[in-house]
Structure 1
């Protein structure tokens, strides 16, 4: 794990700017095997975001060919489970949002059809999306009754997706920190 410390106090605005800049920079940089996470703790509010290349999560970027494949994709995405904060912090999940199969591959728009004799079907608007790199994203918000007890955070799903190196940006009351988690390492120290 690589660690960078910069003990600079922050505000809610700074936390928001960090998360937005992480999202913007991650949107422009797509590298297989590399995930990004952000952890922001302000007072009792803990927010964790995660982004990884679709290929590293599903093992493919191809649309599901049938209903069984959609189910397999959904099961794989469901393995991205909420982070586990240190128990002594007494944190409870208050919201969780993550990429779904439907968002990645809307039903009724199957690209495995015949591309020769269908002039009525316009492809120009979506052909480029086949060449784009897609990411899976998740965000969890927690309320922590004892935020001073939050000394570690686990991302248990990193054991499942053990080929991912994860770059983590932290904004904590003690300052800013960046870490690089080796593949298979789900533990983020917060001290």
Structure 2
């Protein structure tokens, strides 16, 4: 990836009116390029997270195993999104989740100690962090309510609209567990939508 790609991606992610050009340069310089091959793990259950990623290109997912040992996808991360296990990173607890590359991925990594240093010294980053965290909290709450109030078809259509990259690149089984349904149900929904 070129410096221009890095610049563009990080600018898109760290968008905040209080961040100056100078701030963005400092933030950009502490991110290092990391690549993951399809199937590689960024984080495994039982590990303590010490960094987060900005995904330049590719698709990743977080997942857990339920009480029966089935894989359940908890989130997908697509281009220009923050790949993070918030609890493990900021509480410094052992992760309950796995984060894995579903495709080859190009990412920009920032270590927790560097982030904290900048967070306390750049006011705009501090405000960006609060806004980002609020948005994540909002999305998490909305998703938990929608799992109860929306039909599986509605949830699938919302995923198509909001994360088309997931529909194109993630295996059906993983999409189904994310939507809280079986892959048979998902196949039926897809068929009905094609016919309809």
| Rg larger in structure | 1
Give TM-score, length-normalised by structure 2: 0.24
Higher relative contact order (Cα pairs below 8 Å, separated by 6+ residues):
1
- Which structure has the highest strand share of the two? 1
